[in-house]
Structure 1
Amino acid sequence: MRPDPGLRVRGEGRFADGRARRGDHHESGAALLSAMARWTTPTGSFAAHFDPHSIRNSDGSSAARRVSAEFRRAGMDYDRRRHRVSARGRRTLSFPAVYPGADDTAGPGYTGQPAVASYYDWRPSE
């Protein structure tokens, strides 16, 4: 289900069909990955579990390749088998996208637990 493009980015919102969305923690998830990569000391290391298939384009298609490309651009590694993104030293990770919302009925993620699909409108690369 694609989110309503008129949704607010922060706070509670609703999809076009009336279902509630809880976007703050998912917007914060992408923001947190970016912040953690910046917070790492020059000699430190960073690792986080992450499923790029939970990131969707605004049309509902997978944005996993695009997300993986952003990781590579920032000098980060992604282990597809372990669903782990990692880097040594400080990194600058940015997702050139606008976050219109998320679908909390996306079904189970790679762990089998309930998952949320986050939708993004990607801006052209600069």
Structure 2
Amino acid sequence: ALTRRLVQPELLAGVPADKACSLVWHYGLMGIQDRTLGNAIAAHLVSNELLWNLPASDIAHLAEGYALMGQPQPTLFDTLALRITTGGYKWYTNLHEFSAGDTHRTLWACGSPKHCHPGLALALPERL
């Protein structure tokens, strides 16, 4: 029932990026593999350009959540890789924002068998 409500575009449009990341992460932690919700949130974040201002901790939660849900989201993670390596709207790289924990969690997520994303994974070791 929650998924049916959340995937409605008018409701999802009001969900801030950090809350969407948290929702994906919590679904992943609970082992809920809801592809409908996962795809809707990924589309919401990418199409509304909400990834550009996410802090590193939210990016780590998002990557980890999708990995735990067993859902590859190539478009979302291509966009995240670009955001991390170019700095989004800020004119510096965002790699320095990643704590060791954020870096570890994101690398783990990018290297998981169902969820490998080489572009994002290659950007992060520079941080270490």
Where is the strand percentage greater, Structure 1 or Structure 2? 1
Whose radius of gyration is greater, 1 or 2?
Answer: 1
RCO (CA 8 Å, sep 6+): is it higher in 1 or 2?
A: 1
Structure 2 length-normalised TM: 0.28
